[in-house]
Amino acid sequence: MTNWWLLLSATVLCPCAAGPPPARRAFRPRSFHGFDTPSAHFVGTNGPAGIAFGGLSSREGSRPPGGGRARIGWVSEPSVYAAPTAHGSISELIRRHSANPEDVRDVALEGVNVAAADRLLDLGCGFGFMAEGLARRAPAGTEIVGVDVNPSNEIPFVRTVGRAGCRGRFVCERLVDRLDPVAGRFSGAAASYSLYFFPGLVRSISRILRPEGFFVAVTHREASLRHLLDVLDLPADNAPHLAVLHRFSAETGAGLLTPWFGSVETREYPNDLVFERADFEALLAYVRFKLPLIVRGFPLGMDVPRPIAGRAAVHLEREGRIEIAKDDRVFVCREPR
Ligand SMILES: C[S@@+](CC[C@H](N)C(=O)[O-])C[C@H]1O[C@@H](n2cnc3c(N)ncnc32)[C@H](O)[C@@H]1O
């Protein structure tokens, strides 16, 4: 019996997990949820509820170190991001089920001088989610360089940026702690939901920016990830992504950035994912995507274990909806040192 199954059985089937769930706070648009660690479970409607730009082509870099798994710092991160189509559908699913109607990219980029940019950098770019936001605001034809360890992101990234009117260039590289200065200077850089994979890069990011350049970083709140674990009755001490997130989270991010930027502005993006009775399949798809990140050793592509799916179905049927905290924080950094 594998490690993850033992853990799931122990936590999901234990009698203490079967009690009525405590209340989940209601979503308050554009307000601050607080940094409390939510203790809610299923909620009812009526009660408890070194870029080597010089030299490395994307082809040369097209094998993630370690084969199917990218070794990231001291944590081996399953490559859930190696399939851009699946990652893109989860991103859309998140948008559809978000209680916050605002697009997080609008919150992140509001008042940031992207319109004056001529070269932009998207670190850990994935299929181009943040690059699309940048491209829509940048002058037509602006070069946006996307860097990602997963080569499968190249085509979707270049396509996404192109559709939004800019020129996408993809570099397949595992970022650690250095951006090659031969890459030249950038008007701005972004890292959305990725800086925690390469927190040692911040100093290099500040150095690669022009004096008037900006760096926008978006990350999750650790309390939200703990809430998801709580909802699923999974133990926090076996969730590899919690340790990764802690390196650059809403809670810890300012400390990482302030030594390298004269100005670090924070913006909240309070949000809940809401799943109603008819959304059971969507809920399962979201949980399936998350499990390899939150249960050590959970196989990629494996179905949601029956105890979890069964409990979710029962709660949805009984209570009508499930809310999962998904609060983010944006850091807008200026005056690179
Ligand atoms: C959560 S996804 C975010 C993708 C994109 N920025 C977005 O907002 O949708 C994290 C991305 O970082 C990439 N990544 C993880 N570790 C990396 C590393 N050390 N170097 C480069 N990319 C990395 C992953 O391949 C993935 O595409």
**Residue 7, both tokens:** 């853990």
pLDDT, tens digit (0-9, with 9 covering 90-100), for 304-335: 999 999 988 998 999 999 999 999 999 999 99
Nearest CA to ligand 1 atom 8: 192
Give the model's confidence band at 1: pLDDT under 50 very low, under 70 low, under 90 confident, else very high: very low
- Look up residue 212 and give its two tokens: 């008037």
Q: Compute the distance between CA of residue 265 and CA of residue 261 in angstroms, rounded to an integer.
A: 10
Distance CA 59, CA 172 (A): 8
Question: Would you state the pLDDT for residue 3?
Answer: 46
pLDDT of residue 61: 32
pLDDT at residue 261 in the model: 98
- The response to whether residue 154 sits with its C-beta less than 6 Å from ligand 1 reads no
Tell me the CA–centroid distance for residue 148 and ligand 1, in Å.
6
Please tell me the distance between residue 198's alpha carbon and the centre of ligand 1 in angstroms.
Answer: 9
| Residue 159 confidence (pLDDT) | 97
pLDDT at 89 over 60: yes
Contact between 179 and 51 under an 8 Å Cβ cutoff? The reply is yes
CA of 153 to the centre of ligand 1 (A): 10
Pick the residue whose CA is nearest to atom 14 on ligand 1.
Answer: 124
pLDDT band at 81 (very low <50, low <70, confident <90, very high): confident
Please choose from 149, 225, 293 the residue to mutate so as to test ligand 1's pocket, defined by most ligand atoms within 8 A of CB.
149
Residues 288 and 24: their CA atoms lie apart, in Å, by: 23
Q: Which of 192, 177, 12 is nearest to 91 (CA)?
A: 192
Cβ neighbour number for residue 6 with a 10 Å cutoff: 10
Q: Which run of H or of E encompasses 313?
A: helix 306-319
What is residue 182's predicted lDDT score, i.e. its pLDDT? 58
- Percent of the chain at pLDDT exceeding 90: 65
What CATH superfamily classification does 50-218+240-273+327-336 receive? Vaccinia Virus protein VP39 (3.40.50.150)
Instruction: Give pLDDT tens digits for 149-174.
Output: 999 999 999 999 999 999 999 999 99
Contact 132/144 with Cβ under 8 angstroms? no
| The token pair that represents 240 in the structure block | 């590899």
For residue 226, pLDDT over 50 is answered with yes
Residue keyed to tokens 């100093």: 203
pLDDT tens string 266-291:
999 999 999 999 999 999 999 999 99
106 alpha carbon to ligand 1 midpoint, in Å? Answer: 20
Ligand 1 centroid from CA 194, angstroms: 5
Which of these ranges, 26-35, 57-66, 168-177, 226-235, has the smallest mean pLDDT? 26-35
Taking the CA of residue 116 as centre, how many other CA atoms within 13 Å lie in the half-sphere pointing to its CB? 9
Give domain limits for the chain: 50-218+240-273+327-336
Distance CA 4, CA 336 (A): 43
